[in-house]
Amino acid sequence: MLGAMNERVAIMGATGHTGGFVAAELHRRGLTPVPCGRSTDLDRAFRGADAVINCAGPFASTADPVIGSAIGAGIPYLDVTAELEAVTDIFDRYAGAGIPIAPAAAFFGGLGDLLATAAMGRWPAAERLTIAYALSGWRPTPGTRATGRVSAERRGGRRIVYSGRRLRFRTREAPRTEWSFPAPIGSRPVVGEFTTADSATIPTHLDTPEIATYMSSNAVDDLHAADDSGPTAVDERGRSAQTFLVEVVASSEGTERRASAAGRDIYAVTAPLVVEAAVRVLSGEGDAAGVASVGARFEAKDFLHSLAPEHLTLE
Ligand SMILES: NC(=O)c1ccc[n+]([C@@H]2O[C@H](COP(=O)([O-])OP(=O)(O)OC[C@H]3O[C@@H](n4cnc5c(N)ncnc54)[C@H](OP(=O)(O)O)[C@@H]3O)[C@@H](O)[C@H]2O)c1
């Protein structure tokens, strides 16, 4: 873990569930969180900050104004968006920006991207990358629900898959099958074509024509259930009882390489992911300008190992 630097990091969406975890993690790492929200004058607030982490979603509404102010202030921008379309928009619109921009430095969009990068190792290309997520349950926050509604609207109710080197729409029902996760989880019912921001970040720097994705069926059912109670804190860090395991398999010419990470609470783990990324950007690691995912911007294995064993158990 890199050392504390006493730098000031603005958090957009500081009142939110994820924003709270990010503020606590910044404190823990010796940085100073600067809470920002709807009524904050961003241009003014960002002039006194060294970086901004955007935790305000749906990002379809917040990414452009927050990035615009970050560019104006000349400070790095990171976010935790899970919106695939928001990620592709950011890559399209800000490739030439003069600041470092790291979208989806989070559970979805960041962790799978890091694992895929680590699994590929020195392989120049893979015939297929498969990402399988096992969640013990999922009680989405209001922000996640709002994000799901915005993404569904943008897709006209269709689903998206990455196939044949591009994002494509699918209208048929998502396939259900089984996936054999590493012990102790083992074989589980999963829903296929559960496409996340990982399918937007990974193709920006890894060479693969196909990305297959699976989510444990129980979590998909929870996501669509009427229960809107949200996550319940069960430990001193505010984490819920939810556990996760993400497995990535890179396949090429009959050979497979695997990488997996397990941990607790997909919202809580987003904080050490994005704060580690912010610390590294502030230390001058990675490109000083333009858009890059965490897997592309940093050395993936080193990044993942810096979060283990406290936040992640790696295989
Ligand atoms: N990629 C991932 O793995 C990952 C992980 C965690 C979170 N996320 C994403 O992060 C977002 C927040 O999640 P959450 O769990 O923190 O939700 P939350 O608890 O409902 O909080 C949402 C936050 O966003 C702010 N906000 C929403 N719309 C805004 C707008 N137009 N302008 C300014 N602020 C706005 C809210 O401010 P008010 O209090 O003023 O309403 C609040 O601070 C969601 O989009 C979620 O999908 C992604």
Do 261 and 117 fall into the same domain? yes
* Residues 133-160 pLDDT 10s: 999 999 999 999 999 999 999 999 899 9
Query: Is there a single domain that holds both residue 297 and residue 228?
Result: no
119/207 same-domain check: yes
The predicted structure's pLDDT at residue 5: 63
**Rounded Cα gap, residues 177 and 189, in angstroms:** 6
- The partner residues of 77 in beta bridges, in order of sequence, read 52, 101
pLDDT (mean) for 49-63:
97
Residue 2 lies in a domain: no
Question: Is residue 126 within 8 Å of 209, Cβ to Cβ?
Answer: no
Structural domain includes residue 3: no
Strands, E assignment, 119-254: 128-135, 159-163, 166-170, 176-180, 187-192, 211-216, 243-252
Question: Chain-wide mean pLDDT for the chain?
Answer: 96
Q: Token digits for 90?
A: 């950011």
Same-domain status, 177 and 284:
no
- Tell whether ligand 1 has an atom less than 6 A from the beta carbon of residue 19: yes
Check whether residue 116 and residue 92 sit in a common domain.
no
In the prediction, which pLDDT does 247 show?
98
Q: Could you tell me if 149 and 208 lie in one domain?
A: yes
231 Cβ inside 6 Å of ligand 1: no
| Atom in ligand 1 nearest the alpha carbon of residue 196 | 1
**Measuring from atom 1 of ligand 1, which residue has the nearest CA?**
82
Are residues 22 and 95 located together in one domain of the fold? Answer: yes
- Are 86 and 146 found together in one domain? no
The yes-or-no verdict on residue 4 having pLDDT over 60 is: no
The CATH number that applies at residue 278 is 3.40.50.720
**Is residue 144 lining ligand 1, measured as CB closer than 6 Å?**
yes
Residue 2 has pLDDT above 70, yes or no: no
Nearest CA owner, ligand 1 atom 39 = 15
Give per-residue pLDDT as tens, 277-305: 999 999 999 999 999 999 999 999 999 99
Confirm or reject: Cβ of 203 under 6 Å from ligand 1: no
Find the CATH number of the domain harbouring 260: 3.30.360.10
Indicate whether residue 38 lines ligand 1 (CB < 6 A): yes
Residues 149 and 284 in one domain: no
Range of the domain at 14: 8-107+269-303
Please count the structural domains in the chain.
Answer: 2
Please tell me whether residues 288 and 262 are part of one structural domain: no
Residue 114 Cβ < 6 Å to ligand 1: no
- 314 lies in a domain? no
Judgement on whether residues 119 and 262 belong to the same structural domain of the protein: yes
| Residue 311: inside a domain | no
Residue 274 located in a structural domain: yes
Ligand 1 binding pocket includes 21 (Cβ within 6 Å)? no
Domain assignment present for 283 = yes
Same structural domain for residues 124 and 237?
Answer: yes
Is residue 309 a part of any domain in this protein?
A: no
Phi-psi region at 178: left, alpha or beta (left = phi > 0; alpha = psi -120 to 50): beta
Copy the structure tokens of residue 183: 């012990």
Whether 264 is in the pocket of ligand 1, judged by its Cβ within 6 Å, is no
- Mutational test site, ligand 1, from 54, 139, 144, 199, max ligand atoms within 8 Å of CB: 144
